[in-house]
């Protein structure tokens, strides 16, 4: 008998929680079942899901720190990336920002969480409190400056203890950059010295070698730490069906069909936003900046896109993506650099998904996030996407990160998981599609593609 995969167990647990909870809610409203008993069972489901959520929260800070540091240092000598690397990174950050903007616009336009009666998924004081990010009464420039300065932590350890995700992300990226600089410092300097070698240079060379060796040890420490955290994350994620069952039982028994109506609107909003980015934004970029026919490129990329959709793994699809990009006319020397880098730092679909999910949860809780608070959500999603591709089930983990950044309750993650699988397949496809578009645009501007790309297929 075939062993069921994790997402199958999550779907089964979701259906089971709904099958148990909905009849109880209906019978309780009719008076055929003691409403107090229904509330007690719903509360028990919430506590069960809460255990899974606490385990997930336990992993967030060490996982994000090690992931970001490993992701940045894994790029090698950042100064040696040159124009090709600079163009690639700018493209990836730009398209991720456009994806996030698309998500923000659509979630505010469609308002999927408005009127949803999910109730609070967290009990106790402070659950209805406004997010920790204070609203700003200043202009846009002052608001942007406030958000920029708030990213710099006075004490990184305190930021980690308090869950200041923007501060943690900023410090982790900076630390990764300087580990890379120290490790590769001598090679980047090159042979800039003038005149013959002097014996007095020997102690300095020995000191430089020692610094590089120590920096390499630090890099390997964080890589090993990240490997351990990935194993822990995979182990905790195996408990997701139990958590989903608990939260689904709570939602179904406590709130009835309204919970599922809200989730349906949320999933539809994410899907529409992903479609806009995949079928409008990226094709325009391909045509305008890559001089490439979007249809011809899509035809060449079809095997990779279908594989990404079915496996929900951009890393697993990478070899096929590289072959398809070559068939689209991109030289292998460009694709072999751009695509693996994209698998590390480019997650357009995931960043979009996180923003929509967090703003949806804010709407459900009746929290009206102003422009400055939505800017924090967008900034956190953008920065956290660097290196997040290496995290198992990155969407789930990153959602906790972004929710924490604006002080929103994280308990709703359990409900979001119920519709995560199909959305994961869609956003992974968008991630791969964006990586391939980057390869075309970077190759074009590096002079590696003809002025006119392939014509549209007939």
Per-residue pLDDT tens digits for 295-306: 999 999 999 898
Domain ranges of the chain: 6-188+209-445
Largest CA distance in the chain: 95
| H or E element that contains 115 | none
Instruction: Residue count of the chain, please give it.
Output: 458
Q: Which residue has the higher pLDDT, 70 or 116?
A: 70
pLDDT of 238 above 70: yes
Phi-psi region of 387 (alpha: psi -120 to 50; beta: other; left: phi over 0): left
Alpha helices, H only, 346-419: 348-364, 371-384, 394-405, 413-416
pLDDT of residue 289: 92
Q: Given the structure tokens 């949860």, which residue do they identify?
A: 361
pLDDT of 320 above 90: no
pLDDT of 277 above 90: yes
Q: What is the mean pLDDT of residues 305-316?
A: 79
pLDDT of residue 75: 67
Structure-block tokens of residue 55? 């385990």
Provide the pLDDT confidence category of residue 429 given band limits of 50, 70 and 90.
Answer: very high
Q: Which residue has the higher pLDDT, 273 or 205?
A: 273
Cβ burial, residue 132 (10 Å; 0-12/13-18/19+): middle
Percent of the chain at pLDDT > 90 equals 18
Which whole-number Å values give the CA distances from 86 to 81, 91, 338, in the listed order?
7, 9, 11
Provide the 3-class DSSP secondary structure of residue 289. helix
Give the other-Cβ count within 10 Å of 122's Cβ.
17
Provide the pLDDT confidence category of residue 125 given band limits of 50, 70 and 90.
Answer: very low
Nearest to 74 by CA among 442, 394, 341: 341
pLDDT of residue 124: 30
Helix axes 140-150, 371-384, angle to 10 degrees: 40
Nearest to 376 by CA among 164, 218, 202: 164
pLDDT of residue 18: 83
Of the ranges 45-54, 100-109, 405-414, which is most confident?
100-109
Q: How far apart are CA 247 and CA 54, in angstroms?
A: 13
pLDDT of residue 120: 41
Cα dihedral value 353, 393, 339, 65, nearest 10: 100
Q: Given the structure tokens 């970029």, which residue do they identify?
A: 285
Provide the pLDDT confidence category of residue 101 given band limits of 50, 70 and 90.
Answer: very high
What's the mean pLDDT when you consider all of the chain?
A: 79
> Cβ neighbours of residue 415 under 8 Å, at least 6 residues apart?
118, 121, 247, 248, 251, 259, 263
pLDDT of 134 above 50: no
pLDDT of residue 273: 96
Q: Which residue has the higher pLDDT, 397 or 20?
A: 20
Q: Which residue has the higher pLDDT, 182 or 387?
A: 182
Q: What is the mean pLDDT of residues 382-393?
A: 64
pLDDT of 387 above 50: yes
Which whole-number Å values give the CA distances from 102 to 96, 171, 185, 371, 378, in the listed order?
10, 28, 40, 15, 11
Q: What is the mean pLDDT of residues 252-260?
A: 72
Of the ranges 127-141, 210-224, 304-318, 443-457, which is most confident?
210-224
Percent of the chain at pLDDT > 70 equals 80
Provide the pLDDT confidence category of residue 133 given band limits of 50, 70 and 90.
Answer: very low
Q: How far apart are CA 436 and CA 330, in angstroms?
A: 9
Name the CATH code of domain 6-188+209-445 (choices 1.10.3860, 3.30.450, 1.10.3470, 2.60.120): 1.10.3860
Q: Which residue has the higher pLDDT, 79 or 215?
A: 215
Q: How far apart are CA 94 and CA 200, in angstroms?
A: 47
Of the ranges 131-140, 273-282, 449-458, which is most confident?
273-282
Its pTM stands at 0.70
pLDDT of residue 25: 83
Instruction: Indicate the range of 27-41, 122-136, 204-218, 269-283 predicted with least confidence.
Output: 122-136
Q: How far apart are CA 166 and CA 414, in angstroms?
A: 23
Alpha-carbon radius of gyration of the chain: 24
Which whole-number Å values give the CA distances from 389 to 60, 346, 351, in the listed order?
15, 8, 11
Instruction: Indicate the range of 123-127, 223-227, 300-304 predicted with least confidence.
Output: 123-127
């Amino acid at each position: 008998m075939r062993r069921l995969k994790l997402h199958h167990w999550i779907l089964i647990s979701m259906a089971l929680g709904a099958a148990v909870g909905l009849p109880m809610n209906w019978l309780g409203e009719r008076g055929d079942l003691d409403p107090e008993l229904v509330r007690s069972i719903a509360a028990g489901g919430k506590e069960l899901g809460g255990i899974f959520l606490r385990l997930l929260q336990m992993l967030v800070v060490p996982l994000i720190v090690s992931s970001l540091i490993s992701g940045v240092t894994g790029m090698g000598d950042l100064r040696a990336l040159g124009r090709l690397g600079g163009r690639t990174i700018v493209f990836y950050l730009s398209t991720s920002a456009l994806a996030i903007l698309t998500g923000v616009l659509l979630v505010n336009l469609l308002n999927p969480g408005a009127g949803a009666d999910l109730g609070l998924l967290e009990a106790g004081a402070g659950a209805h409190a406004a997010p920790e990010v204070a609203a700003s009464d200043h202009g846009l420039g002052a608001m942007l400056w406030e958000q920029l300065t708030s990213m710099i932590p006075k004490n990184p350890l305190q930021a980690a203890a308090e869950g200041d995700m923007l501060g943690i992300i900023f410090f982790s990226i900076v630390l990764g950059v300087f580990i890379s600089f120290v490790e590769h410092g001598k090679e980047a300097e090159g042979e800039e010295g003038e005149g013959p070698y002097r014996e007095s240079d020997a102690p300095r060379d020995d000191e430089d070698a020692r610094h590089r060796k120590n920096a390499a040890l630090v890099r390997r420490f964080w890589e090993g730490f990240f490997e351990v955290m990935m194993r822990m994350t995979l182990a905790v994620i195996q408990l997701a069906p139990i958590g989903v069952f608990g939260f689904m039982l709570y939602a179904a028994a406590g709130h009835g069909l309204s919970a599922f109506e809200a989730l349906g609107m949320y999933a539809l909003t994410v899907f529409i936003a992903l479609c806009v980015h995949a079928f409008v934004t990226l094709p325009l970029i391909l045509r305008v900046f890559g001089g490439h026919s979007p249809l011809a490129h899509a035809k060449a990329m079809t095997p990779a896109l279908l594989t990404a959709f079915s496996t929900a793994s951009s890393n697993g699809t990478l070899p096929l993506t590289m072959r398809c990009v070559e068939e689209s006319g991109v030289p292998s020397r460009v694709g072999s650099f751009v695509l693996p880098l994209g698998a590390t730092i480019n997650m357009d679909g995931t960043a979009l998904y996180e923003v929509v999910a967090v703003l949806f949860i804010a709407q459900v809780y009746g929290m009206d996030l102003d422009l400055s608070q939505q800017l924090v959500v967008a900034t956190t999603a953008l920065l956290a996407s660097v290196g997040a591709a290496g995290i198992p089930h990155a969407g789930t983990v990153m959602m906790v990160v972004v929710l924490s950044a604006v002080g929103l309750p994280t308990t709703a993650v359990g409900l979001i998981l119920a519709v995560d699988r199909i959305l994961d397949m869609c956003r992974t496809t968008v991630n791969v599609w964006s990586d391939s578009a980057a390869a075309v645009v970077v190759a074009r501007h590096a002079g590696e593609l003809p002025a006119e790309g392939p014509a549209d297929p007939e």
